[in-house]
A and B are shown apart, each in its own frame.
Chain A
Amino acid sequence: MKNSDSQNDTIQENTSGENVCDLKDLIEMMNGKRHLIKEIMNTFLEETPKELLSINDAVTKIDYAGIKKFSHSMRSTVSIMGISILDPILKEMEDLGTMSADLEKIKTLHQKLNIICKRAIQEIEQEVQNYS
Chain B
Amino acid sequence: MYPEPNTQPYTKGKIIFIVEDNETYSRSLKTFISNSFTGIHEIDIFPIGEMCVMELSREPDIIIIDYFLNSKHAEANNGLEIIKRIKLLKPNTNIIVLSTQEDIDVISETIKQYDCTYIPKNQAAYYKIKLSIISILSRAKPSAFKPLN
Residues of A within 8 A of B (CB): 25-26, 28-31, 33, 36, 39-40, 43-44, 47-48, 51, 54, 69-70, 72-77, 79-80, 82, 91
How many residues in B have their beta carbons less than 8 Å from beta carbons of A? 27
Asked if B31 is an interface residue, CB under 8 A from chain A, the answer is yes
Please name the residue on chain A nearest to B21 by beta carbon. A73
Residues of B within 8 A of A (CB): 1-2, 20-25, 27-28, 31-32, 35, 66, 68, 70-72, 74, 100, 102, 121-123, 125-127
B68 CB contacts on chain A under 8 angstroms:
69, 72-73
B80 to chain A, nearest CB (A): 15
Alpha-carbon gap, A40 to B24, bound state (A):
7
Given contacts A36-B35, A73-B71, contact A43 B28 (CB under 8 A): yes
- Point out the residue from A33, A47, A54 that lies within 8 Å of B24, measured CB to CB: A47
Interface of A is mostly: helix
Interchain CB contact under 8 A, B31 and A39: yes
Interchain CB contact under 8 A, B71 and A43: no
Alpha-carbon gap, A73 to B99, bound state (A):
10
A43 CB contacts on chain B under 8 angstroms:
23-24, 27-28
A29 to chain B, nearest CB (A): 5
A31 CB contacts on chain B under 8 angstroms:
35
Interchain CB contact under 8 A, B31 and A79: no
Given contacts A43-B24, A47-B24, A48-B24, contact A72 B100 (CB under 8 A): yes
Alpha-carbon gap, A26 to B126, bound state (A):
9
B28 CB contacts on chain A under 8 angstroms:
26, 40, 43, 80
Interchain CB contact under 8 A, B71 and A79: no
B35 CB contacts on chain A under 8 angstroms:
30-31, 33, 36
